[in-house]
Amino acid sequence: MPTTAAQLGTKSAALERKVRTGRVGLKRWLGPDYRLGFLFVLPIVVLVLALVAYPFGYAVYLSMTRKYVGLPPVFVGFENYVKLTFDGFFQRAVVNSFVFTFGSVGVKLLLGMGMALVLTSQIRFRSFWTGVLLIPWVAPTVVSALNFLWIYDGSLGVLNYLLVKVFRILPQGVGWLSEAGTAMASVIAVNVWRGFPFFGISFLAGMKAIPGELYEAAAVDGATAVQRFRHVTMPGIRNIVIIVMLLSTIWTFNDFAIVYILTKGGPGGTTMVLPVFTYEMAFGAQRLGEAIAAALYMLPPLAFVIIVLARHMRRGRAK
Binding site for other proteins (CB under 8 A): 68-71, 88-89, 152-157, 160, 172-180, 183, 263-270, 280, 282-288
Of 39 and 156, the one with the shorter C-beta distance to other proteins is 156
- Least CB distance from residue 202 to other proteins, whole Å? 33
- Least CB distance from residue 58 to other proteins, whole Å? 12
Of 130 and 182, the one with the shorter C-beta distance to other proteins is 182
Nearest to 141 by CA among 193, 90, 184, 98: 193
Of 245 and 292, the one with the shorter C-beta distance to other proteins is 292
According to DSSP H, which parts of the chain are helical? 5-30, 34-48, 54-63, 79-85, 88-120, 126-138, 141-152, 158-160, 180-208, 212-220, 225-228, 234-253, 257-262, 274-279, 288-297, 299-318
Of 179 and 247, the one with the shorter C-beta distance to other proteins is 179
- Least CB distance from residue 303 to other proteins, whole Å? 27
First to last CA, the chain: 68
- Least CB distance from residue 264 to other proteins, whole Å? 5
Of 9 and 268, the one with the shorter C-beta distance to other proteins is 268
Of 143 and 205, the one with the shorter C-beta distance to other proteins is 143
Give per-residue burial for 291-314: e unless 16+ CB within 10 Å, then b. bbbbbbbbeebeeebeeebeeeee
Residue type for position 138: V
- Least CB distance from residue 21 to other proteins, whole Å? 52
- Least CB distance from residue 213 to other proteins, whole Å? 54
Residue 127 CA, distance from chain mean position = 29
CA distances from 248 to 28, 148, 207, 257, 270 (A): 43, 21, 19, 15, 22
